[in-house]
């Protein structure tokens, strides 16, 4: 699967650059627009400046210097005064792809309830089983009544899968069913697939909007405040850190080593460390580290054990990948969604720590939780 989507760049004065997103009017320039139904909704019409101005953008970098260029900006999200679908013509669908994430059912519920109550949309389908569900699975009709209590359950009521992306079959199904709004909830591999789907829709000149909703507990999306599922991930990480701390402080030279998720970002590891206050060392991909010599990890561990008798180390799964030279030959493997598979840095570094202190004849008791 390739992604040929071209980024829309708009230049302005003083070094202003807008990385814009594709829009229906890019290939359907004569598309009529309609007043947003929210203008007639008493819950929203009374709020001043509720609608987002079409020229509103969000800057990529918050901190700038007085002589620096204005830099890269992104289109601000939010309701517009004009929309390109009438409520009674909308036939929406929702699909969840990739791995599970806390909050998936909540997102499904909010899309359904928002479309139904705020925009008057009555035709909403759920696609079962990820991308392949477009052409290989049954669909389920979604209404506020159907999704009323799903936020109390884990997982996704629609089911999910990795891979199964056949662009032509998916767009054929969208076209055959008369769907004109597609909401795709998934990670980076899923969103690459969403971009390819949109390109095929554009090639066929269909009036179909594709909205990608990023799913990541890793919080690795620039500009936004927080991705859904991140808080739960940090909260659950506390259990592992607490267990490691209990193990470590209960024995001489005890080391609790906890590997946390995060792929190539260290937000979960860092926020869990800050919340715990029991962690002595946090290793994240954004801050390279080394093992040997002055200022290395071994030196810090030895110093901390002599001072305190025990310690807790938290390592993000993407940290130290460059140090795993023994496993470099397998580092190009990918999962079904096209994401690079990471090596188990926690298991690797636990063996290295044990080996180092065995050579120094300084026994350590290491408990690895990964």
Q: Which tens digits make up the pLDDT trace of 197-229?
A: 999 999 999 999 999 999 988 888 888 888 999
What the block records as the tokens of 154 is: 């884990």
- pLDDT of res. 165: 82
Q: Measured on CA atoms in the order 90, 224, 132, 8, is the torsion positive or negative?
A: positive
Which structure tokens are listed for 132?
A: 């392949």
> How many CB atoms are located within 10 Å of the residue 149 CB?
10
Q: How far apart are CA 148 and CA 144, in angstroms?
A: 6
Give the pair of three-digit tokens for residue 28. Answer: 């359907």
For 138: left if phi > 0, alpha if psi spans -120 to 50, otherwise beta; the answer is beta
DSSP string, 249-284: HTSTTEEEEEEE--TT--HHHHHHHHHHS--SEEE-
Question: How far is it, in rounded angstroms, from Cα 298 to Cα 292?
Answer: 6
3-state secondary structure of 245: helix
- Length, in residues, of the chain: 370
Tell me how many helices (H) and strands (E) the chain has. Answer: 10, 15
Q: Which two tokens stand for residue 196?
A: 């390819």
Contact 126, 97 (CB under 8 A): no
80-106 tens-digit pLDDT? 999 999 999 999 999 999 888 899 999
Tens of pLDDT, residue by residue over 238-287, are: 999 999 999 999 999 999 999 999 888 999 999 999 999 999 999 999 99
- pLDDT tens, 5-30? 567 888 888 889 999 989 999 999 99
- Six-digit token pair at 73? 């900006």
Dihedral in degrees, nearest 10, Cα atoms 101, 102, 105, 108: -70
Phi/psi for 106 (5° steps) reads -65, -40
| End-to-end Cα, the chain, rounded Å | 32
How confident is the model at residue 69, as a pLDDT? 87
* Burial class of residue 168 in the structure, from the number of CB atoms within 10 Å of its CB (0-12 exposed, 13-18 middle, 19+ buried): exposed
Query: Residue 53 has what DSSP assignment?
Result: P
- Tokens describing residue 188: 């980076």
Instruction: Give the model's pLDDT for residue 1.
Output: 42
The single residue listed with the structure tokens 């806390």 is 102
Q: How much is the pTM?
A: 0.84
Active site residues: 218
């Amino acid at each position: 699967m390739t992604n040929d989507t071209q980024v829309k760049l708009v230049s302005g004065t003083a070094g202003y650059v807008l990385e814009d997103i594709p829009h229906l009017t890019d290939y359907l320039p004569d598309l009529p627009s309609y007043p947003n139904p929210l203008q007639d909704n008493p819950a929203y019409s009374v709020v001043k400046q509720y609608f987002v101005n079409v020229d509103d953008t969000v800057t990529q970098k918050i901190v700038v210097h007085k002589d620096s260029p204005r830099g890269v900006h992104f289109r601000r999200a939010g309701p517009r005064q004009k929309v390109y679908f009438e409520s009674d013509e909308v036939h929406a669908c929702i699909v969840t792809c990739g791995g599970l994430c806390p909050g998936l059912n909540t997102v499904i519920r909010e899309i359904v309830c928002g479309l139904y109550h705020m925009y008057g949309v009555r035709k909403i389908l759920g696609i079962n089983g990820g991308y392949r569900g477009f052409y290989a699975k049954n669909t389920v009709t979604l209404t506020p009544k159907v999704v009323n209590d799903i936020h109390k359950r884990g997982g996704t009521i629609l089911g999910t899968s990795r891979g199964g992306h056949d662009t032509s079959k998916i767009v054929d199904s969208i076209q055959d069913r008369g769907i004109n709004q597609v909401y795709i909830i998934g990670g980076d591999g899923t969103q690459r697939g969403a971009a390819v789907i949109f390109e095929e829709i554009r090639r066929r000149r269909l009036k179909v909007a594709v909205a990608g909703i990023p799913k990541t507990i890793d919080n690795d999306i620039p500009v936004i405040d927080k991705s859904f599922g991140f808080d739960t991930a940090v909260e659950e990480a506390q259990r592992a850190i607490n267990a490691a701390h209990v193990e470590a402080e209960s024995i001489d030279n005890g080391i609790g080593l906890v590997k946390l998720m995060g792929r190539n970002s260290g937000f979960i590891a860092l926020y869990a460390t800050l919340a715990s206050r029991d962690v002595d060392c946090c290793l994240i991909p954004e801050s390279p580290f080394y093992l040997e010599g002055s200022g290395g990890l071994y030196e810090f561990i030895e110093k901390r054990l002599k001072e305190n008798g025990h310690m807790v180390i938290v390592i993000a799964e993407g940290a130290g990948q460059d140090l795993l030279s023994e496993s470099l030959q397998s580092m190009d493997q990918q999962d079904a969604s096209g994401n690079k598979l990471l090596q188990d840095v926690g298991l690797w570094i636990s063996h290295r720590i044990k080996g180092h202190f065995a050579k120094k004849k300084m026994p350590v008791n290491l408990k690895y939780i990964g």
